[in-house]
C-alpha cells in the first residue's frame, strides 16, 4: 500500500488542478499587529501613515506645512540611496535621501525631494526619523505609555496631534 503525504500549500502558491493548469487561490487580506500573530483582533495592513511635524516645513513662499504622509519603505528605498554620490561623500546624508523617497506629502507639497528634507527644522528631521523607524520596524506609530502616578498603561499615537491628542 502506497502512503501519500500532503503538505499545506502556502497562500498565493499555485497548485495543479485537474485540468492540467494551475489553480491560484484567492488573495488573503494582509493584516498587521495582533492579527498577524494569530490574535482575534485584526487591523488592515497599512502602507501609508499620516503625521504632524512638531515645527513644520516652511516653503520658499513662506507657507508653513505641518501635516504629511509617509509610506512604508521597500528594500529598493534602502538600497538605492547607497549608490547616491551625496551619500558616498557623506554617509549622514543617507537620512535625507531616504526620507525624501518615503515622505509622499508635507502639507500641499507633493514633490518631496532631498532639498525639501534639507530645509526641515532639526526637530522635524528627528521626528521623521523616529516615525520612519517605528513604521518600518514596528509597523505602527503607537507607543505604550505608563502613568507615573498610578501605573495605568495606555497607547498614544506619536505621529501627530497636539499634546494630549492621540
- Pick the residue with more confidence: 13 or 68? 68
pLDDT of residue 2 exceeding 90, the answer is: no
What local confidence, expressed as pLDDT, does residue 166 receive? 38
The share of the chain scoring above pLDDT 90, in percent, equals 54
Domain that holds residue 132: 67-137
- Cα 100 to Cα 23, 77, 132: the distances in Å are 41, 10, 11
What local confidence, expressed as pLDDT, does residue 148 receive? 80
pLDDT of residue 137 exceeding 90, the answer is: no
- Pick the residue with more confidence: 115 or 23? 115
pLDDT of residue 35 exceeding 80, the answer is: no
Q: pTM of the predicted model, to two decimals?
A: 0.61
* Cell numbers that stand for 72 in this block: 512604508
Whether 93 maps to a domain, the answer reads yes
Whether 82 maps to a domain, the answer reads yes
The share of the chain scoring above pLDDT 70, in percent, equals 63
CA 46 distance to own-chain centroid: 8
Return the number of other C-beta atoms located less than 10 Å from residue 2's C-beta.
3
Q: Does residue 152 sit in helix, strand or coil?
A: coil
Specify the residue for cell string 528627528: 126
Whether 120 maps to a domain, the answer reads yes
What local confidence, expressed as pLDDT, does residue 162 receive? 43
pLDDT of residue 96 exceeding 90, the answer is: yes
Mean pLDDT to the nearest integer, 41-68: 92
Q: What is the dihedral of CA 122, 123, 127, 133, to 10 degrees?
A: 50
pLDDT of residue 25 exceeding 50, the answer is: no
Q: 80: phi > 0 → left, psi -120 to 50 → alpha, else beta; which? A: alpha
Measured distance CA(9)–CA(65) in Å, rounded:
48
- Pick the residue with more confidence: 158 or 150? 150
Whether 34 maps to a domain, the answer reads no
Whether 56 maps to a domain, the answer reads no
Whether 115 maps to a domain, the answer reads yes
Whether 84 maps to a domain, the answer reads yes
Whether 154 maps to a domain, the answer reads no
Mean pLDDT to the nearest integer, 56-61: 96
Mean pLDDT to the nearest integer, 104-116: 97
For the chain, the domain total comes to 1
Amino acid at each position: 500500500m502506497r502512503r501519500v503525504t500532503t503538505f499545506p500549500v502556502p497562500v498565493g502558491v499555485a497548485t495543479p488542478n485537474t485540468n492540467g493548469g494551475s489553480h491560484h487561490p484567492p488573495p488573503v487580506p494582509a493584516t498587521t499587529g495582533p492579527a498577524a500573530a494569530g490574535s482575534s483582533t485584526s487591523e488592515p495592513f497599512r502602507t501609508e501613515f499620516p503625521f504632524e511635524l512638531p515645527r513644520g516645513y516652511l516653503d520658499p513662499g513662506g507657507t508653513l506645512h505641518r501635516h504629511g504622509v509617509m509610506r512604508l519603505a521597500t528594500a529598493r528605498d534602502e538600497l538605492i540611496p547607497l549608490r547616491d554620490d551625496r551619500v558616498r561623500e557623506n554617509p549622514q546624508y543617507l537620512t535625507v535621501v531616504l526620507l525624501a523617497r518615503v515622505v509622499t506629502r508635507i502639507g500641499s507639497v507633493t514633490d518631496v525631494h532631498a532639498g525639501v528634507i534639507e530645509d526641515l527644522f532639526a526637530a522635524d528631521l528627528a521626528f521623521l526619523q523616529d516615525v520612519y523607524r517605528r513604521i518600518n520596524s514596528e509597523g505602527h506609530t503607537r507607543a505604550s505609555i505608563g502613568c507615573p502616578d498610578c501605573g495605568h498603561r495606555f497607547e498614544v499615537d506619536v505621529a501627530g496631534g497636539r499634546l494630549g491628542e492621540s
